[in-house]
Amino acid sequence: MGRSWGRLLARVAGYGFLVVLVLAALAITFTVGWRPVIGAKKRALTSRQFEVTPARLQRGDYLVHAVMHCMGCHTKYDRQQNPPVLASQEGSGQVLFEEGSLRIIAPNITSDRETGIGKWSEQDIVNLLKDGQTPDFDFVGGAMSAVVNDTAQLTDADRKAIAVFLKSVPAKPFGGKG
Ligand code: HEC
- How confident is the model over 15-53, as pLDDT tens digits? 999 999 999 988 888 887 777 777 656 677 888 889 999
User: Are 76 and 86 within 8 A, CB to CB?
Assistant: yes
DSSP-derived pairing of the beta strands 138-139 and 133-134: antiparallel
Is the CB of 132 inside a 6 Å radius of any atom of ligand 1?
no
Q: Could you tell me the pLDDT band of residue 178, with boundaries at 50, 70 and 90?
A: confident
Q: Does the pLDDT at position 163 exceed 80?
A: yes
Peptide bond into 83 cis (omega under 30): yes
The residue whose CA has the least distance to atom 28 of ligand 1 is 109
R_g over Cα of the chain:
23
The one-letter code for the residue type at 110 is T
pLDDT at 28: 84
Q: Ligand 1 centre from 116 Cα, in Å?
A: 11
Domain ranges of the chain: 2-38, 54-168
Name which of 172, 178, 170 is nearest 114 in CA terms.
Answer: 172
Is the CB of 107 inside a 6 Å radius of any atom of ligand 1?
yes
Residue pLDDT, tens place only, 101-144 = 898 999 999 999 999 999 999 999 999 999 898 887 788 888 99
Is the CB of 163 inside a 6 Å radius of any atom of ligand 1?
no
The mean pLDDT value of the chain amounts to: 89
Which SS3 state, helix, strand or coil, does residue 106 take?
strand
Site to substitute for ligand 1 among 140, 166, 167, most atoms within 8 A of C-beta: 140
Name which of 54, 165, 154, 147 is nearest 109 in CA terms.
Answer: 165
Q: Does the pLDDT at position 77 exceed 70?
A: yes
- pTM here? 0.80
